[in-house]
Amino acid sequence: MRQPRVFAMLCWIGCSFLLCGSGCASRVTSVYGESDDYNAKCSPAGTTVLRAMVEERGHKTYTVRSLSPANMERLNTLIWCPDDFPNHRKATFTWIEQWMAKGNRTLVYIGRDFSPHAAYWADIAAQQGTNPANRAKWLVAMEEFAGAQNELDSKRRLSRPSLVMPWCRWDLRGGRIETIQSLRGPWSQDINVEQTSIVARSSILPIRSSELKAMKSELESTIASRKTTPPGVTPPTTPTTIPAPPPPAARFFGVEDLESQQMDLINSISTDSLPEWDSLLSDADQRTLVGVVEPDPVHGGRVIVVNNNSLFCNHSMLRVEHRKIAAMMINEFSEGGVGFISGSDDPIIRTDNFDERQRGFEMLTVWPLNVVAIHAAFLGIATMIAYFPIFGRPKRLRKTSTADFGMHVEAIGNLMQKSGDKAYAIDQIADYFRNVRGDLVSPWANMRNEESKPQSPFRTPESE
């Protein structure tokens, strides 16, 4: 029994590592935009369904953690789903421009102004109904809904009302969440809007030179006033309201740095060659839900801008109509690898191909752990084979009892049989009947006398 126990111990250790790494129960997580792990599959805001559709089309997918030379060569499509409003660094856009200059590249940018978690928990609360027995579940769902919506509103309040990207402008001044009731544009063909859950809050607009000049003047005056105003304590306008925590970008850089990033980006945009804008999907008010820009028509690069993640998040992709829209978007992809970018910060720009943000078992694939890992794997396999020479589940042997006298008699009989002395065996049996059982008349007791009686050579058949 020692060998199966050793194997069972090894199995338990392996299972413990797996459970610690991936979890043992299905639960709703709150990660946003991720597409390749267990938490992303359990998140309404994940993009695992979209990634699975991309792989079904024959594209090889990658999780992009850094903008490296290897990603510039192997990726022909990038799907960027940030967990923040478009407050990005100019260096990130510069890398993307260089990547698009390689030719036949497609970038998909998905806006943040939507909370799939809030939509999911709102649906859960609606399913509970007015039944008093479901009151506790309804309260939990409403608390989760309020927390998710408050997180999005906090990010929104700490962002500028108008943000500029090299391809479009985001107008965040619309405060009411609207459910789309009608669709227009090339992608609206054969789409039943009643079977969709598309919402809109902000607007994506083409860049105009007059708007750029107005935003530049506003930023210059704001930055100048910050430099001239002496530091002081400004009393809060609503002292009873607890301020929401700032988003990661604001904590990391500060509001002044975000304004400087916008200024640098505006200065880098040439008003003489503004990109052409085309709407692929819009609502009845001509609000663009999915737009396409061709900033580099010479090399064939295009940028698909999506208003928010209500079109392609896991929660929405449960609907057939959303998967139809996703299929039309995948048709626009270039042949080659497809990379998925997520997270609240911009990806790291690297000059080498080493990704320092390896996660989990991916660390075993880089030097020097990869050399150690392969030898350790072979050693583990050899150890398991050595300690588990048979296949199947081990069986527990039947326990024997020393109080069973029948087993003692059986053992004595086996010993006498192995000796081969028949006369000795008969003598022992007869001795047992005479001395132990006191039997002097039975054939067993007199067996020795009958068997040991000498045979006369002069006997006749009558005497027998």
Please tell me whether residues 203 and 328 are part of one structural domain.
Answer: yes
Q: Is residue 367, in this structure, part of any structural domain at all?
A: no
Q: Is residue 163, in this structure, part of any structural domain at all?
A: yes
* pLDDT for 249: 40
Please tell me whether residues 202 and 279 are part of one structural domain.
Answer: yes
Please tell me whether residues 285 and 422 are part of one structural domain.
Answer: no
Q: Is this prediction's pTM over 0.75?
A: no
Which residue range(s) make up the domain with 104?
45-224+249-357
Q: Is residue 98, in this structure, part of any structural domain at all?
A: yes
Q: Is residue 376, in this structure, part of any structural domain at all?
A: no
- The secondary structure of residue 65, as a DSSP letter, is S
Summarize pLDDT for 326-338 with one digit per residue, the tens.
999 999 898 889 9
Summarize pLDDT for 311-326 with one digit per residue, the tens.
999 999 999 999 999 9
Assigned token pair, 262: 């916008």
Mean pLDDT to the nearest integer, 193-218: 88
Please tell me whether residues 114 and 253 are part of one structural domain.
Answer: yes
461: left (phi over 0), alpha (psi -120 to 50) or beta: alpha
Say how far apart CA 354 and CA 179 lie, in whole Å. Answer: 44
Please tell me whether residues 108 and 195 are part of one structural domain.
Answer: yes
Q: Is residue 426, in this structure, part of any structural domain at all?
A: yes
Residue 45 burial (CB < 10 Å; 0-12/13-18/19+)? buried
Q: Is the peptide bond before 457 cis (omega within 30 degrees of 0)?
A: no
42 and 71 Cβ atoms separated by less than 8 Å: no
Least confident of 62-76, 421-435, 440-454: 440-454
Mean pLDDT for the chain?
A: 79
Boundary (domain end) residue, out of 329, 357, 385: 357
Please tell me whether residues 337 and 417 are part of one structural domain.
Answer: no
Say how far apart CA 10 and CA 386 lie, in whole Å. Answer: 13
Asked if the model's pLDDT at residue 282 lies above 80, the reply is yes
Q: Is residue 318, in this structure, part of any structural domain at all?
A: yes
- In single-letter form, the type of residue at position 346 comes to D
Strand locations in 177-334, DSSP E? Answer: 178-179, 183-184, 199-200, 203-205, 277-283, 288-296, 301-306
Assigned token pair, 401: 């009892």
Q: Is residue 397, in this structure, part of any structural domain at all?
A: no
Q: How many domains does the chain have?
A: 2
Please tell me whether residues 125 and 210 are part of one structural domain.
Answer: yes
- Residue 54 CB contacts under 8 Å (≥ 6 apart), including other chains: 61, 79, 330, 333, 338
Please tell me whether residues 335 and 423 are part of one structural domain.
Answer: no
Please tell me whether residues 128 and 185 are part of one structural domain.
Answer: yes
Residue 149 burial (CB < 10 Å; 0-12/13-18/19+)? middle
* pLDDT for 391: 63
Residue 65 burial (CB < 10 Å; 0-12/13-18/19+)? buried
Boundary (domain end) residue, out of 357, 379, 397: 357
How many Cβ atoms are within 10 Å of 30's Cβ, its own excluded?
Answer: 15
How many Cβ atoms are within 10 Å of 303's Cβ, its own excluded?
Answer: 24
Summarize pLDDT for 143-173 with one digit per residue, the tens.
999 999 999 988 888 888 888 888 888 888 7
Please tell me whether residues 161 and 283 are part of one structural domain.
Answer: yes
Assigned token pair, 266: 């505006």
Q: H/E element holding 449? A: helix 447-452
Tell me if residue 307 falls in helix, strand or coil.
coil
Summarize pLDDT for 95-141 with one digit per residue, the tens.
999 999 888 899 999 999 999 999 999 999 888 876 777 888 889 89
Say how far apart CA 89 and CA 343 lie, in whole Å. Answer: 14
Q: Is residue 430, in this structure, part of any structural domain at all?
A: yes
Asked if the model's pLDDT at residue 292 lies above 90, the reply is yes
Please tell me whether residues 85 and 187 are part of one structural domain.
Answer: yes
Please tell me whether residues 271 and 410 are part of one structural domain.
Answer: no
Boundary (domain end) residue, out of 320, 338, 357: 357
* pLDDT for 254: 44
In this prediction, residue 281 has a pLDDT band, given cuts at 50, 70 and 90, of very high
* pLDDT for 428: 82
